[in-house]
Amino acid sequence: MSRLASPIRKNDNVLVITGKDRGKRGRVLKTQPDKNRLIVEGVNIIKRHTKPNPQRNIKGGIVEREASVHASNVQLVCPECSAQTRVGHKVLGDGRKVRVCRKCDGVVDK
């Protein structure tokens, strides 16, 4: 299966633009490039019934955790203008290729 290059990376701030959690903002905790999905902090909370496992120090019961959302359902939040934006690319003078905000032309990468 081919890897889909998503413009959103780990630790980016994103805004959910569709679905039951529409309007929520969160930080990307994990990316799954092969499925084109992301796990976003505080978004798409599910209840998981887990069995206790003393070897792994896991308590049993109902655990709430984040499930993945499709990358097309979120949009990057620009750190400079704090607006939801699409992502562009630009090559800087020192040869680095960086992601840029389409609205304010600010650099998204640190």
Whether the Cβ atoms of residue 45 and residue 64 lie closer than 8 Å to each other: yes
Can you give the pLDDT of all 110 residues of the chain as single tens digits?
455 567 899 999 999 999 999 999 999 999 999 999 999 999 999 999 999 999 999 899 999 999 999 999 999 999 999 999 999 999 999 999 999 999 998 999 87
| Domains, in order of start, for the chain | 1-77 (2.30.30.30), 83-110 (no CATH)
- The two tokens of residue 57 are 């120090």
Q: How much is the pTM?
A: 0.82
